[in-house]
């Protein structure tokens, strides 16, 4: 099964009565187990593409299949279920709940699946152990470094056993050492567990860690290099 299939994908917005075409007809397939980087300058459409792949937005036209499912056939509830079951997210700004422990931050996606509290906390514990944070289970984000917070975010992305992890500038708020650690962790998830990784970045050195580079400019794929 492919993770994503897009054909003629467009996304337009109305801004003060003016139509802005963020994506202008994207054809893209990302298979299971791939490690791909999406690159492009500011305003190129790379973040819009990420939001569509992550089912955080809907295309204006074209076909988008996520895990073989045409998203146009889903209502908002089913779309949210597909997103929760198939996709894990890692964001530049971590998006952790400030007053909540690492353990409960990681367990949160399982709440929406109706997983019992004992089971979801056990799974969250295993996810944090997998990213090297067994000693930080009860710490809040303010008690952790940026690199540790990003590892909590990766554990949260993984706790639901997703088919793919979407990472939006995952090293953008980290220093070089912590950025290296996070990229190494993503690489191991890809090679050891077969999780597909799709990351958005403007940093060539980060993109070079991926096995495929998808260059976006002016709402189109300019180059797709394996």
- Looking at residue 92, what is its pLDDT? 85
Say yes or no to pLDDT of 128 above 90: yes
Say yes or no to pLDDT of 202 above 90: no
**Structural domain boundaries of the chain?**
33-57+76-225
Q: What is the mean pLDDT of the chain?
A: 93
Written as six digits, the tokens of 220 are 């189109």
Say yes or no to pLDDT of 136 above 90: yes
| Fold classified for 33-57+76-225 | Rossmann fold (3.40.50)
- Interval 4-43: pLDDT, tens: 999 999 999 998 889 999 999 999 999 999 999 999 988 8
- Looking at residue 112, what is its pLDDT? 87
Find, among 93, 207, 101, 86, the residue nearest to 158 by Cα. Answer: 86
Distance CA 196, CA 175 (A): 25
Mean pLDDT value of segment 57-77: 95
Written as six digits, the tokens of 197 are 């990784």
């Amino acid at each position: 099964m492919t993770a994503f299939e897009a054909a003629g994908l467009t996304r337009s917005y109305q801004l003060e009565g003016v139509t802005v075409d963020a994506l202008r007809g994207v054809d893209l397939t990302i298979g299971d187990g791939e490690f791909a980087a999406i690159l492009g300058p500011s305003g190129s459409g790379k973040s819009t593409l990420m939001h569509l792949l992550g089912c955080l937005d809907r295309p204006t036209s074209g076909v988008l299949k996520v895990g073989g499912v045409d998203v146009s056939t889903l209502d908002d509830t089913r779309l949210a279920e597909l997103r929760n079951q198939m996709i894990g997210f890692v964001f530049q700004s971590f998006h952790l709940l400030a007053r909540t422990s690492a353990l409960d931050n990681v367990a949160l996606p399982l709440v929406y699946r109706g997983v019992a509290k004992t089971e979801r906390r056990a799974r969250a514990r295993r996810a944090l152990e997998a990213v090297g944070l067994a000693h930080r289970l009860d710490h809040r984000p303010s008690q952790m470094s940026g690199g540790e917070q990003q590892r909590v975010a990766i554990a949260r992305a993984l706790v639901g056993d997703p088919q793919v992890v979407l990472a939006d500038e995952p090293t953008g708020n980290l220093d070089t050492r912590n950025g290296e650690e996070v990229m190494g962790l993503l690489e191991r998830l890809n090679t050891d567990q077969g999780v597909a990784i799709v990351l958005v970045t403007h940093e060539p050195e980060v993109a070079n860690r991926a096995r495929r580079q998808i260059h976006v400019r002016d709402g189109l794929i300019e180059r797709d290099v394996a």
